[in-house]
Amino acid sequence: MDVTGTVATGFEAARDAFTRNFTSGAEVGAGLAVYQHGEPVVDVWGGYADPDTHRLWEHDTLAALASTTKTFAAGALLLLIERGQVDLDAPVARYWPEFAQNGKGEITVRMLLSHRAGLPSMDARPVTWEDLRDWTPITDTLAAAKPEWPPGTAHGYHGVTFGHLTGEIVRRVSGTSLSEFFARDVAAPLGGLDCYVRVPDAESPRMATMVVPDAEQIMLGMEVPELADMVRALNDPTTLTYRSMFGSVTIDWDAANDPKTYQVESPSMDGVASAPSLARYYAALIGEVDGVRLLSPQLVDQARRPYGDGIDEILRVRTSWGLGFALPGGPMWPAPEQVTGLFGHSGASGSFAFADPERGLAFAYVPNRGSELLEGGDFRVRSLIEALYEGRL
């Protein structure tokens, strides 16, 4: 399978690792992009956007991000914090008064962003497509919810709820939806990024077809020893893990190629992007890209500080959470753990993106073969990141 694109001198190992993922049969279609100090240094793509029709992957092919979408919601809220319109240590209820119900009046924006609010579950009203379309059924449910643990005392992945919790603050403060705010205040200043919380109808033809892992691949993922506790909890409907993941949604992999999945506001799990645009977004979080920088170094330093580190109440493995971004640590982070200061996110679609402020690097990998792991970070992306850091540690 041919790999197309450009690579700057010194980054050839990343391109070679990307090519090996195809030659080994691990990949269907994908894009890989890396920026350094605000300039693109890797921009390669290959394979099929649709393996059934043999439609080729192009430079601007869009693909599902799954949970990597959460970083669009996080970035939007951090931008409001950067502008002084939201205070990190203010109660969420200052901006969303109904949120104070059931003892949640002291939950701060910082707690919410760092997965410490204790609101990971929607099992009282599992999310439907109609709820995503209408938005408020989900935010009303979260406003009325009681925390699963005393807020601020523990951390646990808000896999289904994070996007709506942060997105509602954005909506209340900006007066517009999260998708509209992101498009206007983040994507447009950066030249019109192909990064979408909700995909405009006109862009749908560029979407790659998701290739869902088969039962054998998923079983291999479930047999990773470090994930044993999580797997056991996911198979027990009485656990908070199950209630917060499988028990909180009515939508599954069967909807991965239904266009309507991406035409609603689903900021926890259904955004899309092209690899070059996703890398450009991360590059603008940590430095100037064509004169645009989204966050100050001071706020970036806060975003990549660990606020919750240790055994995750939901995933039952070690995780480390900054402000809306995952940090190195534990089996869900597919990067050398000795490289500190990174922040990013993975998704079950196989996608992964991160920024490394010390080295000025921004990395984005967007495939269309879903990961066999629940939240991504599989061997394909691990091999790419290891190659990127060859000679840079």
Q: How far apart are CA 359 and CA 356, in angstroms?
A: 6
Instruction: Determine the Cα–Cα distance for residues 22 and 30; give it in Å rounded to an integer.
Output: 9
| Digit-coded pLDDT (tens) for 158-200 | 999 999 999 999 999 999 999 999 999 999 999 999 999 999 9
pLDDT score of 137:
97
- pLDDT number for residue 247: 96
Residue-wise pLDDT tens digits, 361-382: 999 999 999 987 777 778 899 9
For residue 222, the model assigns a pLDDT of 62
Cα distances (Å, whole numbers) of residue 131 to 92, 117, 153, 177, 249: 22, 22, 30, 15, 10
pLDDT of residue 340: 86
Is residue 317 within 8 A of residue 241, CB to CB? The reply is: no
Q: Which residues are catalytic?
A: 67
Q: Return the pLDDT at 212.
A: 86
Segment 265-276 shows an average pLDDT of 97
Q: How confident is the model at residue 220 (pLDDT cuts 50, 70, 90)?
A: low
Region 348-367 average pLDDT: 96
pLDDT at 262 over 80: yes
Q: How confident is the model at residue 223 (pLDDT cuts 50, 70, 90)?
A: low
Among residues of the chain, what percentage have pLDDT more than 90?
84
At 301-339, the pLDDT tens digits run: 999 999 999 999 999 999 999 999 999 988 878 777 678
User: Does the pLDDT value for residue 156 go beyond 90?
Assistant: yes
Q: Given this model, what pLDDT does residue 100 score?
A: 98
> Which residue is it, tokens 């689903």?
266
Q: Distances from the Cα of 107 to the Cαs of 74, 81, 114, 312, 351, in angstroms?
A: 17, 16, 11, 19, 31
Residue 218 reports pLDDT greater than 80:
no
pLDDT digit string, tens, across residues 83-121: 999 999 999 999 999 999 999 999 999 999 999 999 999
Average pLDDT for 146-155: 98
Q: Identify the pLDDT of residue 371.
A: 86
Q: In the prediction, which pLDDT does 253 show? A: 73
Percent of the chain topping pLDDT 70: 96
